Amino acid sequence: MAGLVLSGYVLVEAQRAGASKDVKLRMLRNMGIDFLGGLLPVVGDAFDAIFKANTRNTRLLRNYLEEQLAVEPPPPPFPWMTLIWLSVLFAIVTGGLSLVL
C-alpha cells in the first residue's frame, strides 16, 4: 500500500502539469498492475524488481510534456496596418513641416 501511495505522487504531478486523460489512465493502469503484481507471495518481489511503475509513469509524463513543448504556436502576423498608418502619419508630419519651414 505504501508503494501505491508513493507512486500516486507522479500521478498528482501529471494532474498539475495538465496531462491528458489518456496519459493519466495509463499511469493508473501501471500503478494497478504494480500493486496487484506485488501482492503475489514470493513472485511479487521479483515482479516488483522487473516492473517499475514509477519509471514507466515518469517516462509517460516526460514524453507527453515533450510533445506539448515541441508544438510551437504560429508566429503572430506582421502588423501591416500599423506600418501603413505610421507611414501615413510620418508623411503628413513631414509634409506639414515642409510647408511651415
pLDDT (tens digit per residue) in 55-89? 999 999 999 999 988 877 788 899 999 999 999 99
CA distance 43 to 21: 32
Band of residue 97 on the pLDDT scale cut at 50, 70, 90:
confident
CA distance 46 to 79: 63
Map out the domains of the chain as residue ranges.
Answer: 2-100
CA distance 65 to 70: 8
Band of residue 38 on the pLDDT scale cut at 50, 70, 90:
confident
| pTM for the model | 0.65
